[in-house]
Structure 1
Amino acid sequence: MRDFSANHDWLSINTATIRKQAGAEVPLDRLIDQCAAAGVRAISPWRDQVAAVGLDKVAAQLKALGIGLSGYCRGGFFPAPDAAGLKAALEDNRRAIDEAKTLNAACLVLVVGALPGALNGKAAYTDLARARTEVRDGIAASLEYAREVGMPLAIEPLHPMQAADRACINTLEQSLDLCDELDAQQSGMLGVALDVYHTWWDPKLAQQIARAGDAKNTRLLAYHVCDWLTPTRDLLNDRGMMGDGVIELKKIRGWVEAAGFAGFSEVEIFSSLDWWQRSGEETLATCIERHRSVV
């Protein structure tokens, strides 16, 4: 397993971690400058943040500062109540693939979606099997275009608490089953984004991580870290800083690296009650220290 104690060369910052500072939203161009000042050499920005600043402007800023992308957030949300909605989702994912390619991202992360409308309080239907079928079909269609342009897609399984509204793919096993079905040739164009917040509890986690490495190209395309607090005050927006919770971070990274992953550990923390109330400089300094000591 790699030794991170001497530097933070393999630290990436998902920009959700610092998008709010002292309770206020901060634009992406400023976040990128803060990361550069802290010596962070990779980030993973969100599409809405990029759109607010401008795709070309962000691409130029990243190039000038020598910052790469460990991933791009996000594609997905494939299910829809009707044919028009399904078509619109595919078109939006095509745009997301193009944006990821422009930014030279390592992969486009897919939060696949679930019961359409549930996120806004009223599901258009409650057939979870239908949603999973629409996810499968949406990934298959998007993968065709992703192959054309050379942008890997990374399915991110989300914790079962979000099965209704954000992602009906909830385990690493489900994600890998889709990869095996849709990319049997193990092309490197379809894999997974493993977020410890969503997967640490899974009794099959070690087994499935090892399975992800059983390929000529590992299925592990991105690795996200934070911690699970006890008690958790908000299941969406109370993620912990690494080392403040109960996730066995070094053990899991050992499994991930044994399965062939040699990329960035990407810090992704949603924290409305704690870290989003602090300065970006403090949060980044803590991320660096914990990356060296506990990740």
Structure 2
Amino acid sequence: MPETFKAILVSRDEDKKQSVAVTEMTEADLMEGDVTVAVEATTVNYKDGLAITGKAPVVRRWPLVPGIDFAGTVLSSSNPGWKAGDKVILNGWGVGETHYGAYAGRARVKGEWLVPLPQGMSAHDAMAVGTAGYTAMLCVMALERHGITPQRGPVVVTGASGGVGSVAVAILSKLGYHVVASTGRGAESAYLTGLGAAEIISREELSAPGKPLAKERWAGGVDAIGSTTLANVLSMTSYGGAVAACGLAGGMDLPATVAPFILRGVSLLGIDSVMAPKALRLEAWKRIRTDLDLAKLKALSTTIGFDDIIDAAGDIVAGRIRGRVVVDM
């Protein structure tokens, strides 16, 4: 008999009512691909929470195994770039949205979607970083390309207690930036200070409708919230500054004006981690290995088991998750 493994499967009926179940699968049930991986660790991202709870239309193929990222070991490969025994990471590429994802014991994917696990990192470490941390690194790299150095002034990180925010705070502080961490959870101040934040501000300072152009407070920012928060961050960015936008936890709209762009030369840098080219991914993971204090991963992550994924999905959407959640498979 073929080996079976547990998987989470989201389905919906003719009335489009979604359901979630734990089932048994075999490799024959997996989708097409030229590399099969034993999933050793994964994580619960905000997007995974939306997929499992059905709070937003993340899933675009039914039924589907959710889970947008994983780390593991190649079991078999017909792709010349990979062989059995290779340690790999996957982020994005529609996995967990249109292609069976990480919440199963095995994953079959295209080899070009994979990158090597950096030397010195375990699968658990890689998923403590996860797509959220990899996205945070892409944001930092974008700010650097725009010339936003520590000498330019403070940088703000919104949603700082979340996955992207936590890693962004840790990376930016290690690189020497004065980090202003915005959070809606005042109880997390000590946590954020431990990650390297120099200042903590309340989410309320940025979440209410503000002026088209406000007092200059920072040279750059990393925003995972969107909506009014991003509009306010832009209005408070200093001349020639830039904000990297990568999320929509507060909404997809952007109720802003052109004032910051045409009066202060502010730039809005869009960050997409799902379809980012491989060269950028390789650079991001190389930088994560050198510019993120792996000791801080313990402070910004918690570990759960496969059976806890569904509950964690509800918690992350409800805003009850701090930092990163690693799933030990």
- After TM superposition, the score normalised by the length of structure 2 is 0.28
Q: Which structure is higher in strand share?
A: 2
Q: Which structure is higher in helix share?
A: 1
Give the greater-gyration-radius structure (CA). Answer: 2
